[in-house]
Amino acid sequence: MNIHRALLDQLTPLLGADAVLTGADVSGRAAGIWRKDFVTAAVLFRPANVAGVAAVLKACNERGQAVVTHGGLTGLAEGALATVDDVVLSTERLNQIEHIDPVNRVMRVQAGVPLQRAQEAAEKHGLQLALDLGARGSCTVGGNAATNAGGINVLRYGMAREQILGLEAVLADGTVVSSLNQMLKNNAGYDLKQLFIGSEGTLGVITRLVLRLRPLPTGRETALLACKNFEQVVALLAHLEGGLGGGLHAFELMWRNFYELVTVDRAPLDTGHAYYVLAEARGNDRDADHERFVNVLHQATQCHLLEDALVCKSEAERNELWGLRENVELTLESASAIIFDVSLPLTEMEAYVQQVEQRLTREWGGQARLWVFGHAGDGNLHLVVAAGNQPQDVVRERVERCVYEPLQKIGGSVSAEHGVGLEKKKWLHVCRNPAEIELMQRMKLALDPRGILNPGRIFDSVPAE
Ligand SMILES: Cc1cc2nc3c(=O)[nH]c(=O)nc-3n(C[C@H](O)[C@H](O)[C@H](O)COP(=O)(O)OP(=O)(O)OC[C@H]3O[C@@H](n4cnc5c(N)ncnc54)[C@H](O)[C@@H]3O)c2cc1C
């Protein structure tokens, strides 16, 4: 009997028919956001509890069956792409917000809860889950943990790792490791949650999370600022961080041609400046916060750290500005467009982007297009490259060379926040040395000796002896 048939026979009575999808119920599902293809796996299990996840993994492990975990499928590193031979394990029915403790400021949620639902549940208690990203409506907190997601609050609160106090994960052999710590401090042995956070589903399937909550700032000050050169951008960031006394939440940077593209209908600030910054500060004293924000911007103008500024007067204006920054889809219209997510020191950004531009021009002349934007305050840029009208798979390797190779010399990374997945594994050596990669492989072998969990993601596993 083939493996998939045997798994269906064994697991359907255990999990219930609702938890098992095959045929058109699987192949009718989009393979991911911004993708035009569909899920190709033969079987999709969607257990509604941890015991179900454990049963699926145990049964697959016994047969050496590869399992690919699906969260909200908003990941941008091809980590959740399955083949016809794979079994998919979806967390979509692990969707309960189990507990919110407003006094100790923690919430316990199942891994398939969409980020936005968790955020809204915390806000009902006057608290915030400080993780936030453009895909908030579709991505899951389990996927956020698995990818150690970043987003738009990293400058102030850190990445997903910093918002997670404890978690529960199921290992490849079905062992459930509940490490649901709720405290800020717990140095009793290894911090096991850190093994799973950012491991992209290669070491275990995350099923529950204890998330740290923080006081919800009631006020929000947002401005769009224009700079004439990169020195101004660097000095402006330092000025805002210093002047706003820890209140700066976001410092998003857009290169001129990205700004021009997304403001083609209506530009809130004149086009023609070299850089545009979307800066946001939050606090709890609206009048005082507003006064301070405006004063700090006024000082920045007097010190020649910016050329023009627009301070939002309403939530609608704020949403409009964030809508521009998050309107990445406009850059993806060309068939060859590829999005990159690199990390590098702020001081290297200008020269790095120029170098990438030169390399692309050498390869494709005037056919090459490059848009740059991102979380510059976190040292994280997104580059979108369109190299003529050829499809992605024809140009990908040459484009990747242009973008990734210059990172090695400046100590950058091929993934700031999206992860490595299948897409970037051949470039891992640009930012990780052989000893680091070997240690990762040894950890994989120890936790998943048969290599069934998201195989081939991040690096190729070494076979067990
Ligand atoms: C519009 C848009 C904006 C975005 N902005 C940001 C941003 O600002 N910052 C950022 O970091 N990312 C961003 N992303 C990328 C993406 O949203 C994140 O990577 C997100 O964390 C993925 O969550 P998901 O639930 O969709 O995971 P999926 O896409 O389903 O999976 C991603 C990876 O995690 C694994 N995985 C998923 N769930 C689990 C689990 N429970 N246990 C173990 N492994 C699991 C999958 O196998 C896969 O390898 C953006 C994406 C889009 C489309």
In whole angstroms, give the CA distance from residue 60 to residue 66: 7
**Rounded distance from Cα 139 to ligand 1 centre (Å):** 6
Q: What residue ranges in 87-204 does DSSP mark as E strands?
A: 87-90, 97-101, 106-110, 127-128, 164-170, 176-179
**Rounded distance from Cα 149 to ligand 1 centre (Å):** 7
For ligand 1, pick from 49, 139, 458 the residue to mutate: most ligand atoms within 8 Å of CB.
139
Instruction: Judge whether 420 lies within some domain.
Output: yes
CA separation, residue 386 to residues 56, 214, 338, 350, 395 (Å): 41, 41, 7, 20, 9
CATH of the domain at 226: 3.30.70.2190
Could you give phi then psi for residue 388, rounded to 5 degrees?
Answer: 70, -160
Q: What residues form DSSP beta bridges with 108? A: 99, 210
Among residues 54, 71, 90, the one where a domain terminates is 90
Percentage of the chain modeled with pLDDT above 70:
99
Q: What is the tens place of the pLDDT at every residue in 126-138?
A: 999 999 999 999 9
Instruction: Judge whether 199 lies within some domain.
Output: yes
User: pTM of the entire structure?
Assistant: 0.94
Mark whether 110 and 211 lie in a shared domain: yes
Read off the pLDDT of each residue in 206-226 and give the average, rounded to a whole number: 96
Domain that holds residue 285: 219-325
Q: What is the tens place of the pLDDT at every residue in 51-61?
A: 999 999 999 99
Among residues 34, 67, 90, the one where a domain terminates is 90
Read off the pLDDT of each residue in 269-298 and give the average, rounded to a whole number: 96
Residue from 367, 465, 457 nearest 418 by CA: 457
Please provide the size of the chain in residues. Answer: 465
Is the Cα dihedral 426, 392, 362, 273 positive or negative? negative
In whole angstroms, give the CA distance from residue 391 to residue 199: 30
Mark whether 271 and 289 lie in a shared domain: yes
**Rounded distance from Cα 432 to ligand 1 centre (Å):** 22
Residue 464 banded pLDDT, cuts 50, 70, 90? low
Q: Which helix (H) or strand (E) holds 339?
A: strand 338-343
Could you tell me if 176 and 54 are in contact, meaning their C-beta atoms sit under 8 angstroms apart?
yes
In whole angstroms, give the CA distance from residue 381 to residue 253: 8
In whole angstroms, give the CA distance from residue 176 to residue 450: 17
Read off the pLDDT of each residue in 342-362 and give the average, rounded to a whole number: 97
Could you give phi then psi for residue 247, rounded to 5 degrees?
Answer: -85, -10
Instruction: Judge whether 246 lies within some domain.
Output: yes
Mark whether 13 and 105 lie in a shared domain: no
- Smallest CA separation from ligand 1 atom 21, residue: 144
Could you tell me if 356 and 364 are in contact, meaning their C-beta atoms sit under 8 angstroms apart?
no
CATH of the domain at 66: 3.30.43.10
Q: Which atom of ligand 1 is nearest to the CA of 138?
A: 26
Residue 463, pLDDT > 70, answer no
Pocket of ligand 1 (CB under 6 A): 33, 68-76, 79-80, 91, 111, 133-135, 139-140, 142-144, 146-147, 149-151, 200-201, 205-206, 417-418, 421, 454, 457
**Rounded distance from Cα 311 to ligand 1 centre (Å):** 32
Q: What is the tens place of the pLDDT at every residue in 155-203?
A: 999 999 999 999 999 999 999 999 999 999 999 999 999 999 999 999 9
**Rounded distance from Cα 113 to ligand 1 centre (Å):** 13
Residue 335, pLDDT > 80, answer no
**Rounded distance from Cα 397 to ligand 1 centre (Å):** 24
Among residues 37, 67, 90, the one where a domain terminates is 90
CATH of the domain at 379: 3.30.70.2740
Could you tell me if 132 and 211 are in contact, meaning their C-beta atoms sit under 8 angstroms apart?
no
**One-letter amino acid for residue 210 of the chain:** V
For ligand 1, pick from 35, 49, 133 the residue to mutate: most ligand atoms within 8 Å of CB.
133
Instruction: Judge whether 241 lies within some domain.
Output: yes
CATH of the domain at 142: 3.30.465.10
Residue 462, pLDDT > 80, answer no
The reported pLDDT for the residue numbered 36 is: 83
Q: What is the tens place of the pLDDT at every residue in 292-301?
A: 999 999 999 9
Instruction: Judge whether 60 lies within some domain.
Output: yes
In whole angstroms, give the CA distance from residue 395 to residue 91: 34
Residue 418 banded pLDDT, cuts 50, 70, 90? very high
Mark whether 316 and 337 lie in a shared domain: no
Instruction: Judge whether 438 lies within some domain.
Output: no
Mark whether 352 and 302 lie in a shared domain: no
Instruction: Judge whether 465 lies within some domain.
Output: no
The reported pLDDT for the residue numbered 330 is: 84
Q: Which residue has the tokens 């409009």?
A: 320
DSSP notation for 266-327: --SS-BTBSEEEEEEEEES-HHHHHHHHHHHHHHHHHTTS-SEEEE--SHHHHHHHHHHHT-
Could you tell me if 53 and 211 are in contact, meaning their C-beta atoms sit under 8 angstroms apart?
no
Residue 334, pLDDT > 80, answer no
Instruction: Judge whether 459 lies within some domain.
Output: no
What SS3 state is found at 126? Answer: coil
Q: Which helix (H) or strand (E) holds 357?
A: helix 349-364
Tokens of 50: 């941890």
**Rounded distance from Cα 186 to ligand 1 centre (Å):** 27
Total structural domains within the chain = 4
Mark whether 106 and 191 lie in a shared domain: yes
Q: Which atom of ligand 1 is nearest to the CA of 151?
A: 8
Mark whether 39 and 115 lie in a shared domain: no
Mark whether 281 and 335 lie in a shared domain: no
For ligand 1, pick from 68, 70, 74, 131 the residue to mutate: most ligand atoms within 8 Å of CB.
74
Q: What is the tens place of the pLDDT at every residue in 26-45?
A: 999 999 988 888 999 989 99
